Amino acid sequence: MTALLEVRNLTKSFQGLVAVNDVSFSLEAGRITALIGPNGAGKTTCFNLVAGALSPTAGQVLFEGRAIERNPPEAVCRMGIARTFQIVRPMKDMSVLENAMVGAFSWTTNVKEARSKAYESLERVGLAGKASARTDQLTLPDRKMLEMAKALSTRPKLLLLDEVMAGLRPTEAAGVVGVLRKLAEHGLTILLVEHVMRIVMDVASTVVVLHHGAKIAEGEPSQVVADPAVLESYLGAGFHA
């Protein structure tokens, strides 16, 4: 089976600092993969490389078998890769629905079509009931869900989620996990950066671990948390799954 996304020997240097160092992994369609590692490990840089926000110093990003690493973010988005950002910034003067519509304008100029897609995206994340609310009335979990709805409105095949559950209480994070599972069941492929191991163990079928820009482990969550290199560099010797 061809992977939906394949990252091959991906490398990104910033003036001598190698933020991503010869990283390779692939994502099967309809699965949830977690990208983990300590602060500064290169996770967000990896997302930026896949999403076209950065060009790699070396290596390739193949999406549906096609090299895409020299494409700008708008083109990558139109191909079917959407992302959320580590810091959520909804547009304050627009309603929740209008914010979600922004994503749809990546593929249509028809307002009615965009509205209908945005509403459907809000439904998928459980936010349709607040479609006409102003974004400054939203709680943090709802703002995170809106960010996801905006990404879903672009009609992605692959969704990149950067710490979408950061700052949420366990019950709120569990709600997001439920939404992610449903999205994956409907065929969406998800790559998520997540620091809370309990969530990673719960939601991901595969885990890729970065440390100082390099991949140090990859596998099923239960394998990865027992890996000596992962315990030493990230989880700490006292970690018990």
**CA dihedral (58, 52, 90, 121) positive or negative:** negative
**Rounded Cα distance, 36 and 70, in Å:** 25
Closest to 82 in 3D by CA, of 24, 124, 142, 40: 124
Partner whose footprint covers residue 37, from ligand ATP, Mg ion, none (CB < 5 to 8 Å by kind): ligand ATP
**H helical segments located in 87-169:** 96-104, 111-124, 140-152
36 vs 97 by CB, closer to ligand ATP: 36
* Distance in Å, CB of 57 to ligand ATP, minimum: 12
Q: Closest CB to Mg ion belongs to which residue? A: 44
If the CB atoms of residues 127 and 160 are measured against Mg ion, the closer one turns out to be: 160
Residue 171 contacts ligand ATP per CB under 6 A: no
For ligand ATP, the binding residue among 7, 10, 19, 230 (CB under 6 A) is 19
Cα distance between residue 72 and residue 80, in whole Å: 13
Residue number with CB closer to Mg ion (94 or 196): 196
Please choose, from the candidates 51, 67, 152, 142, the residue with its C-alpha nearest in 3D space to the C-alpha of residue 106.
152
Which one of ligand ATP, Mg ion, none interacts with residue 130, CB within 5 to 8 A by kind?
Answer: none
Distance, in Å, from the CA atom of 42 to the CA atom of 124, rounded to the nearest integer, reads 30
Q: How far is the CB of 158 from Mg ion (least distance, A)?
A: 18
* 32-91 residues near ligand ATP, rule: CB under 6 A: 37, 39-45
Binding residues for ligand ATP, rule CB under 6 A, total: 11
Token duo for residue 79: 């191909």
Sheet with 214-219: strands ordered across:
81-83, 158-162, 189-193, 32-36, 206-211, 214-219
Q: How many CA atoms lie within 13 A of 241 on its CB side?
A: 13
Q: Which does 145 bind (CB under 5 to 8 A by kind): Mg ion, ligand ATP, none?
A: none
| Closer residue to Mg ion in complex, CB, 39/132 | 39
Q: Return the one option of ligand ATP, Mg ion, none that residue 237 interacts with (CB less than 5 to 8 A, by type).
A: none
Phi-psi label, residue 37: left if phi above 0, alpha if psi -120 to 50, beta otherwise: left
Task: Give the shortest CB-110-to-Mg ion separation in angstroms.
Answer: 35
Q: Which does 17 bind (CB under 5 to 8 A by kind): ligand ATP, Mg ion, none?
A: ligand ATP
Closest CA to 146 of 46, 195, 136: 136
- Residue 17 contacts ligand ATP per CB under 6 A: yes
Residues forming the site for Mg ion (CB under 5 A):
43-44
* Binding positions for ligand ATP, rule: CB under 6 A: 14, 17, 19, 37, 39-45
